[in-house]
Amino acid sequence: MRQSKYYIVLFVFSLIPLMVACSSDSAAVDEDGNAIITTARVLDDGTVFKDGEDVHNNVVTEWAKEELDINFVTEWTQPNSEQFDTQLRLLMSSNDKLPDVFLVSNSSLKADLIESGLVMSLDEAIEEHAPPRVKELFDEFPQAFYPSTKDGEIYGIPRFSGGNGSDSLLWFRGDWLEEHGLEEPTTIEELEAVMETFIDENASGSGNTLGITLAAGDNGFRGGNIGESAWIFGAYGDYVPGYWSKDESGSLVYGSIQPNIREGLVKLNEWYEKGYLAQDFAILTGSDAQESFISGRSGIISAPPWAHGYPLGEIEQLDDDAVLKPLPHVSGENGQAGRRGEGYIVGSFLFSREFEQMDKFFEYWDAILSYTLGDTDYFEYGLFEGYDYALNDGEPVYDIAEFEELTGEKHVDPGRYFLPTNVPTIPFQMYSLLEEFYETDRDPINGYEAKLAGNNPTYIEASAIVNKQNDIRVINEFSGPPTDTMSSRSEHLERLEDELFVEIIYGTKPIEAFDDFVEEWKSSGGDDITQEVNEWYDSVTN
């Protein structure tokens, strides 16, 4: 009998480590002593693995185990953000356990998760565990925390954007400018002279040359990348459609109802009447706009620097004579210029309230951030040899064609394997470096810089142009979830705005209709939204 009791006691004690691990998955370790951190992510077609590797086992997951004693376990993936958000909502509604850490970009979902109590407040963890250089970065961009702040507490770690990475500039057919002896325009007036010449001289050779390609079919005039028109309104004042910006008193006001928008609509109507714009530009999507430009119908389009590689760069493959020329945004009559500015984040990392290893997360975050900062113990020449670079007689090779010839393997981007689905970015850092490389002969001093410096020279020039015009950025100061009145009235107000803008540009309504629209917008919920937006702003900044 005593022997039976002995075995029972021994059996119970043998279960204690397992019971402890199972009682709190967020504090679990694997059989090798690695901290287990569970996650979930979007896994799209842009993430390519080498043969034998996948999201669960790859060069990054092995690096994390070997160097940081972290075992990342991807519990589930979805092919796009919509399906990813849906699965998170299902977990939240059923009160199921969330992954330890996951990235959320949708502001409404982020707010609902915070409200649910299923994710943890992070102020204490940041104070106790964030390394000094991470804290410095957080202090430099406090607005990155606004979307995940509630009642004075922080619930999300920002996944920073490039800061100005998707800000636009003007792309011209440089060969058209040269062929017709045209100077590079710096003002709206000079731009009009270029468009007039393109049309009069039938620069496209098609008989229906456009002055410029614009698109308003995706989000009206409130956003977009390819063919967007915010810079036209920015040439007349400090506001762009769809963005909430500060007025002279410091309060947030809605850009679409400001006086300079009226002036921009007058100019767009003038351009439409003169045939500078496509007759159906109001329903053209960004994809339609790029196809129009690539086909050679117009010689000017607004787009970010990255558009040179794709999609705009395709024009140089279709037409041997085509030359893409990046130029700054033009100014209005009073010297004013403005462009739509990218936000500071692309999402926030939220953490399950059961997660207990924030120290390990910040250790990981600091390690991968070290690559971007160029101060690293892990990534001397690049991320991983045989993936994003190769060594030839001890010298790193970054050029993709050279890499593939040297290794006999496809070049892959292991940055896509990291938890943020790419290497961390720091607002304004990348284009600042590219501007420096464009303006000077300085050699890159680390793997990250070397990859940047190895980009196409036209892309580097475009990036430098965007960075030089950072002072004309118009940013959206509202980054919170939809307010109560937004939820009930935004669809109506946006439709009202879209229809009115198009009618004015097409000439079916006079410009005076803009004044009536402003009053109707305010009385139909706009004033309430303005109050709510400012209440939100006060709550996250005070």
Alpha-carbon distance of 265 to 105, in angstroms, equals 32
Q: For residues 27 and 19, which has the higher predicted lDDT (pLDDT)?
A: 27
Closest CA to 346 of 409, 417, 421: 421
The model's confidence at residue 20, banded by pLDDT at 50, 70 and 90, is very low
- The CA–CA distances, whole Å, from 46 to 43, 176, 224 equal 8, 35, 21
Closest CA to 267 of 184, 189, 183, 173: 189
Average model confidence (pLDDT) across the chain: 93
Helix (H) or strand (E) holding 91: helix 81-93
Q: Answer yes or no: same fold for 28-160+346-427 and 169-341.
A: yes
The model's confidence at residue 27, banded by pLDDT at 50, 70 and 90, is low
Closest CA to 466 of 425, 423, 434, 424: 434
Q: Which residues sit opposite 298 in a β-bridge?
A: 210
Residue 329, SS3? coil
At 231-272, the pLDDT tens digits run: 999 999 999 999 999 999 999 999 999 999 999 999 999 999
Alpha-carbon distance of 227 to 212, in angstroms, equals 9
* Residue 22 reports pLDDT greater than 70: no
The model's confidence at residue 217, banded by pLDDT at 50, 70 and 90, is confident
Query: What pLDDT sits at residue 420?
Result: 76
The model's confidence at residue 115, banded by pLDDT at 50, 70 and 90, is very high
Antiparallel, parallel or unpaired: β 300-303 and 169-173: antiparallel
| Residue 441: exposure state from Cβ atoms within 10 A (0-12, 13-18, ≥19) | exposed
Domain ranges of the chain: 28-160+346-427, 169-341
Identify the CATH class of 169-341.
alpha beta
* Residue 206 reports pLDDT greater than 60: yes
Query: What pLDDT sits at residue 16?
Result: 39
The pLDDT of 382-400, averaged and rounded, is 94
Alpha-carbon distance of 153 to 222, in angstroms, equals 31
CATH of domain 28-160+346-427: 3.40.190.10
* Residue 394 reports pLDDT greater than 50: yes
Q: Which residues sit opposite 397 in a β-bridge?
A: 390
Query: What pLDDT sits at residue 421?
Result: 86
* Residue 24 reports pLDDT greater than 50: no
E strands, 129-275, in order: 149-150, 153-154, 157-160, 169-173, 244-246, 252-254
The pLDDT of 372-377, averaged and rounded, is 94
The reported pTM is 0.92
* Residue 429 reports pLDDT greater than 60: yes
